[in-house]
Amino acid sequence: MNKKIYVDQESRIVNPIIFDQNLCTGCNRCVEACQVDLFIPNPERKKPPIVLYPTECWYCGCCVMECPKPNAIKLNPPLMNQIYWKRKSEHKY
Amino acid sequence: MEEKLVLRELEWAYPLRWDEIKEVSTDILILGGGIAGCWAAIAAARKGLKTTLVEKGATIRSGAGGSGCDHWESAATNPCSRVTPEELTMAMIKDHNGYNNGISHYIECREGYDRLLELEKMGGKIRDTGNEFVGAEFRDEKTQFLFSYDYENRFTLRVWGTTFKPALYKECKRLGVEIYDRVMATSLIMDVNKQPSKVLGATGVNGRTGRFFVFKSKATILCMARPTRIWLFSLGLPGISEFRPLQCMGDGHAMAWKAGVKFTMMEKSLRGQWSGDRSYPPYGTGNTHNTWYACSMVDADGKEIPWIDRDGNILKSVSQRYRPSPGQKFFLKGGGESEFPLYEYQGPDTLPVEKLLENGYKLPFYADLPSMPSHERNVIWNLMVAQEGKSRIPIFQRYEEAGFVPEKDLLQSYGKGWTSASFLPRERQLFGTPGGIINDWKLKTNLEGLYAAGDQLFASDCNGHAAATGYYAGRHAADYAIQTSQSILDNQQVEFERRRINSLTNKNEGLGWKEFNLAITRIMQNYCGEIKSRELLNIGLKLLENLETKEAPNLYARNPHELIRSLEVINILTNAKLIINSCLVRKASSKHLHFIRSDYPEMDPLEWHKFITVKLENNKVKVGKLPIDYYGSLKENYEIYNEEYTKKRIIS
């Protein structure tokens, strides 16, 4: 029963986590901090984890908070959640 | 193209241990490693007991409060508070017309501040030690505490809560708590020969390896999440179906219900307020509540939106928004604590949106941080938004990176008040002190050896409540465990559970968990929506039972991760049944329970002003009633049950 199994990466409905390939050291701290467990470690050592279940992301940003390398992980919320703001001084009422 | 081919052949990353059984023997077993669970573990470990914590996610950041927390509510014993724990708890009870947990909220008011002081010792930040807010009217110069809401009565603190969960995790490890991360608790193991039945431990399964666990304990504490994904489920973005994380969906309620634990208020549900799919990120849009209390707002033409006191008088200054009305002793939050705030405790709020539109204010509205006094603006943006749960990275950091400047920019508001979305009446959530497990003064359930804390208790709410009740349950469960011995487990139950779990993976095709979850939410929206009746509820129950007997056996998981997701949706179905059963037995409508029965339209008749309890006994729903003030005198009872703690607190 404990035979090998293979997994498909979920189709990219969203892309919640973006790794900087140059900054990420593949330490997998984010893999261990994610409560949803949406990553798996990369089979290749020192490479960024694989976001296996992107649609399960809660967008809490804990992976970013726990990452020892600044800017190695970027949280990328879904486009439909973009918020509008405007500069107060540029609007005459 | 090449990359895709590689990914298709991606091997599962963890060793598979489907066939293994790991037995763990412990004194105190804690199920759920969120705020409540960590505090329960700390209390038990401090009593010198072997303590085991089982967490489905990662204890370092798991739970609704793992990513942060900006308020510590009800710290009535902090040296600056001008309200007593008794006054504050009674206000919370009265504001919900009695439908509140007097015991757990009194614990929160009595002990919440103690937990906060301990967090500081563990490395959590609770004071303005950097002197960023010197001179602010919400700051106490001596203690360096910062307060929110009612600046005169000072019982809610602003805190740097992103530091809390890692500090708790570290403390658990320091105290030798045995932590099993990535393990989902799946059932309680019972000694059915005892009356009342006694809980002897729990089963679990690892979401990475598939390894099966049997935990034997002297006492067990339920510290898992409240039910979610009952009415709301996003097929495309399941991770943001609800306010809370995907996997915080109420496993603990489901296993407790099956074991015969008594619940109350499960008939209460509110029209949806949050989901990342349907609304904007919490605390990420212009609003005036909670994290953003009491931000100034303007309409599309830049006209300032008036703030009013409870009598409808327009408030002239920002400072007045943080003060009780003339003649009022204190207020609970902005507007009020409940959905129907009592005049006695009602706080300042903006004019209602409908009224604003009638008076010619034009949409959209914007949060006007630039016009706020600098301390108020800085404390909202740089402290509250930066420290609240799931707001530090997705909101504070991202907006700033995208060019948002709090001193200069107006942030749009998308809906009424703080919800930033409009849901249909049938799209419901367990929100605003929902139902849960009924508890006694030890936070014990009706089953021997089983305790509950945090979101598993009925009428739970925030981080401070989870911390205070977690610690309290840990303390009392430990006292019980010291006097009890471990029993021999019934292997039949363990084997039954193992077969149930294996049946999800022992096939080559079948139903996916998402389709199953969506089917549950459709049934619940149709038959347990805003307006309920016996006919509707009975059909709903029947359809859920059909789903359970005909479709649940077809659920299929291809790896341990999917196994967890599949077990979760079976639990969601159990929770949906618990909710429908609770709705069926309250034969009266109730305003504060947001409960409308078309066949019993009378609102809050006196004979139904009580807690209706339900539990499973021999597969039948057993109904009970408890007086609305069943907990008796708060102070007296608390002190009877906590003599040692009370004495220690005075000495220290």
> B214 in a domain, yes or no?
no
The pLDDT, as a whole number, for residue B651 is: 58
- Beta strands B157-158 and B28-31, pairing class: unpaired
> B232 in a domain, yes or no?
no
Contact A87 B408 (CB under 8 A): yes
Nearest to A36 among B9, B239, B394 (CB): B239
pLDDT 10s digits, B413-457: 987 655 667 789 999 999 889 999 999 999 999 999 999 999 999
What are the backbone dihedrals phi and psi of residue B224, each rounded to the nearest 5 degrees, phi first?
-90, -175
Nearest to B11 among A4, A16, A34 (CB): A4
The pLDDT, as a whole number, for residue B154 is: 98
pLDDT 10s digits, B116-127: 999 999 999 999
B297 neighbors B366 (Cβ within 8 angstroms): yes
Radius of gyration of chain B (CA): 24
Average pLDDT of chain B?
A: 94
Contact B13 A83 (CB under 8 A): no
Residues 6+ apart with CB under 8 A from B337: B91, B92, B95, B96, B345
Q: What is the mean pLDDT of residues B52-69?
A: 97
Number of domains in chain B: 2
Nearest C-alpha of chain B: how many angstroms from A23? Answer: 18
> B627 in a domain, yes or no?
no
With cut-offs at 50, 70 and 90, classify the pLDDT of residue B650.
Answer: low
Low-confidence winner among A3-7, A23-27, B53-57, B548-552 (lowest mean pLDDT): A3-7
Nearest C-alpha of chain A: how many angstroms from B12? Answer: 5
Interface test with A, best of B5, B61, B397, B400 (most A CBs within 10 A): B61
How close are the terminal C-alpha atoms of chain A, in Å?
A: 71
The pLDDT, as a whole number, for residue B605 is: 98
CA–CA gap between residue B240 and residue B233 (Å, rounded): 8
CA–CA gap between residue B557 and residue B578 (Å, rounded): 25
> B384 in a domain, yes or no?
yes
pLDDT 10s digits, B467-501: 999 999 999 999 999 999 878 888 999 999 999 99
The pLDDT, as a whole number, for residue B422 is: 78
Size of interface A-B (CB pairs under 8 A): 174
Which of B412, B446, B468 corresponds to the end of one domain?
Answer: B412
Q: What is the mean pLDDT of residues B150-167?
A: 97
The pLDDT, as a whole number, for residue B627 is: 98
- Reported residue count of chain B is 652
Is pLDDT of B183 > 50?
yes
The pLDDT, as a whole number, for residue B416 is: 65
Q: What is the DSSP string of B104-171?
A: HHHHHHHHHHHHHHHHHHHT-B-S-TT-TTTT-TTB-TTT--BB-S-TTT--SEE-BGGGHHHHHHHH
Which residue, among B651, B636, B257, B643, has the nearest Cα to B475 in the 3D structure?
Answer: B643
What are the start-end ranges of the E strands in B60-109?
71-72
Coil/strand/helix, residue B375? helix
> B523 in a domain, yes or no?
yes
> B35 in a domain, yes or no?
no
Q: What is the mean pLDDT of residues A62-69?
A: 97
With cut-offs at 50, 70 and 90, classify the pLDDT of residue A75.
Answer: very high
Q: What is the DSSP string of B191-256?
A: ETTSSS-EEEEEEEEETTT--EEEEE-SEEEE--PPP-SSS---SS-GGGSSSS-TT-S-HHHHHH
* Closest Cα in chain B to A75: B394
The pLDDT, as a whole number, for residue B2 is: 45
Q: What is the mean pLDDT of residues B589-612?
A: 98
Q: Quick one: how far is CA B392 from the chain centroid?
A: 20
Same domain, yes or no: B308 and B408:
yes
With cut-offs at 50, 70 and 90, classify the pLDDT of residue A2.
Answer: low
Tokens, residue B433: 């002190």
pLDDT 10s digits, B495-534: 999 999 999 999 989 999 999 999 999 999 999 999 999 9
> B255 in a domain, yes or no?
no
Low-confidence winner among A5-9, A89-93, B387-391, B580-584 (lowest mean pLDDT): A89-93
Which of B390, B412, B434 corresponds to the end of one domain?
Answer: B412
Task: With a threshold of 0.85, tell me whether the complex ipTM lies above it.
Answer: yes
Which of B392, B412, B432 corresponds to the end of one domain?
Answer: B412
Is pLDDT of B192 > 80?
no
The pLDDT, as a whole number, for residue B336 is: 65
Interface test with B, best of A1, A37, A80 (most B CBs within 10 A): A37
Q: Quick one: how far is CA B233 from the chain centroid?
A: 18
CA angle B453, B458, B464 (to 5 degrees): 50
Same domain, yes or no: B408 and B299:
yes
Which residue, among B318, B388, B379, B369, has the nearest Cα to B136 in the 3D structure?
Answer: B379
Is pLDDT of B375 > 70?
yes
Nearest to B66 among A9, A62, A64 (CB): A62
B133 neighbors B140 (Cβ within 8 angstroms): no
B411 neighbors B285 (Cβ within 8 angstroms): yes
Q: Which domain holds residue B329?
A: 290-412
What are the backbone dihedrals phi and psi of residue B96, each rounded to the nearest 5 degrees, phi first?
-105, 20
CATH number for position B576: 1.20.58.100
In chain B, residues with a C-beta closer than 8 Å to the C-beta of A75 are: 393-394, 398
Is pLDDT of B334 > 80?
no
Q: Please state, for a pLDDT cut of 90, what percent of chain B lies above it.
A: 89
With cut-offs at 50, 70 and 90, classify the pLDDT of residue B8.
Answer: low
Q: What is the mean pLDDT of residues B568-589?
A: 98
B210 neighbors B566 (Cβ within 8 angstroms): no
Tokens, residue B10: 């991606």
Average pLDDT of chain A?
A: 92
* Closest Cα in chain B to A65: B393
With cut-offs at 50, 70 and 90, classify the pLDDT of residue B98.
Answer: very high
Is pLDDT of B94 > 60?
yes
Interface test with B, best of A2, A45, A60, A67 (most B CBs within 10 A): A60
> B274 in a domain, yes or no?
no
- Domains observed in chain A: 17-90 (3.30.70.20)
